[in-house]
Amino acid sequence: MRVLLTSWGSRGDVEPLVALAIEVRELGAEAVVCAPPDEEFVKLLEQAGVPSVPLGPTVHSVVAGPKPPTGEDALKLAPALVAARFETLSAAAEEGCDAILATGLLPAGARDVAEKLGIPYVYACFHTFGLPSRHFAPGMRPGTPSPEGETDNRVLWRQDAERVDALYGGALNSHRAAIGLPPVDNVRDHVFTGSPWLAADPVLCPSEGMTDLDLVPTGAWIRPDDRPLPAALEEFLDSGEPPVYVGFGSMAAYAPKDIARVAIESARGLGRRILLARGWAGLASIDDAGDCFVVGEVNQQALFRRVAAVVHHGGAGTTTTASRAGAPQVVVPRIADQPFWAGRVAELGIGVAHQDPLPTVESLTAALTTALSPATGARAKAVADTIRTDGATVAAKLLVSAKDG
């Protein structure tokens, strides 16, 4: 059996597919990942021995400018990604394909290639935030905003679907027509299907009653990482008390202004050392003091077990990794699902949601004081013991059996 796994988005959208591909391979099947050609992602797939095919432009080229992407940028990107999926997935499937699983930035085009081939299609998501629900409103999306004062969630989600159609509908139906398929009139629901898979930990992201769709929870797809930490980092960790980790992953232009300075001053004010993750935002130390260390891409699973707290943006992957490590968290959400994860961290008592997206030294110090308290630390360790690690295995078994189902 051969399956195509595809995503376009940040590392948090790609790494779970690596975990799934490894588990599919363990079951005797073949998995190929179609993902953005960013060097970081290509290296990640190569290290895992997972065959890959480049899909679309690099994510870095889209999000790493001096300013966040605009609505006009989204209007250009959406049809380009639709075209890339039709071309790339169709070509990758020529060698034989038994199923397609898609995730990441709305993967319009993936289901359509599967439909043409007559094979199963699965849409997977890493949270419930973007799924239609009677309980909460949709997030921000480029396009005509909903009227001010509208509070009916059913109306708001219908208007969200209209925005998706404006972004993707023309391109999707043009490509469908080119391969002999009829048009679709609700792109969002067409992509999501009636039964999306939820690849999230049930403690961190409870799913019951959260959406009108028939969710298939699998648990989070976690790639086991046994890489050793760099020798210089080990030396820093061993030379004093556990530091406060600060990183914003792939946020690039979305990272809070002056966050490195703010974090360093906050940590020092509390008598703590600090560990900065460079990331796409290029975080760097403000001086040459020995209490601050800057690190590139490393094994976070190992690292987070050795830090006093994790300050981050609230991506699904980082939140899950920190929670599994039992590290208290301060989440500074910026976009998309990040406020959801910040809220869950606070609700579970395993950290603090810093909902103001622009921390000051004073506000971050207050948040860290709570996160570093014995009560938060104890709660974080207790919740860590409940985090499941078999999600990718569960999903792989479902996927491998999808052809027969």
Convert the pLDDT of each residue in 31-71 to its tens digit.
999 999 999 999 999 999 999 999 999 999 998 877 888 88
C-alpha to C-alpha distances, 231 to 71, 228, 235, nearest whole angstrom: 44, 8, 6
pTM higher than 0.85, yes or no? yes
In this prediction, residues 160-169 reach a mean pLDDT of 97
d(CA 322, CA 305): 8
pLDDT at 252 over 80: no
Strand, helix or coil at 330? strand
What is the pLDDT at residue 94?
A: 85
How many Cβ atoms are within 10 Å of 216's Cβ, its own excluded?
16
Share of the chain above pLDDT 70, in %: 99
Average confidence (pLDDT) over 274-300: 95
Q: Provide the H-helix boundaries in 122-248.
A: 153-164, 170-178, 187-192, 231-238
Q: For the domain 2-222+389-400, what is the CATH code?
A: 3.40.50.2000
Mean pLDDT value across residues 281-294: 95
Backbone phi, psi, residue 330, to 5°: -120, 115
**Considering only 162-166, 218-222, 399-403, which range has the smallest mean pLDDT?**
399-403
Residue 205 in tokens? 């992201």
pLDDT, averaged across the chain: 95
For residue 178, what pLDDT is reported?
98
Kindly state the average pLDDT of the residues 334-361.
94
Place 210 in a pLDDT band, splitting at 50, 70 and 90.
confident
How do residues 259-268 score in pLDDT, each as one tens digit?
999 999 999 9
pLDDT in tens, 83-107: 999 999 999 998 899 999 999 999 9
How do 292-295 and 121-125 pair as beta strands? unpaired
CATH 3.40.50.2000 domain locations along the chain = 2-222+389-400, 231-384
Band the pLDDT of 205: cuts 50, 70, 90.
Answer: very high
**Overall CATH class of domain 231-384:** alpha beta
Tokens 């981050």 correspond to 312
**Confidence label for 405 from pLDDT (cuts 50, 70 and 90):** low
pLDDT value of position 290: 96
Work out the pLDDT band at 404, boundaries 50, 70, 90: low
**Whether pLDDT at 354 is above 60:** yes
Residue 251 has pLDDT above 80, yes or no: no
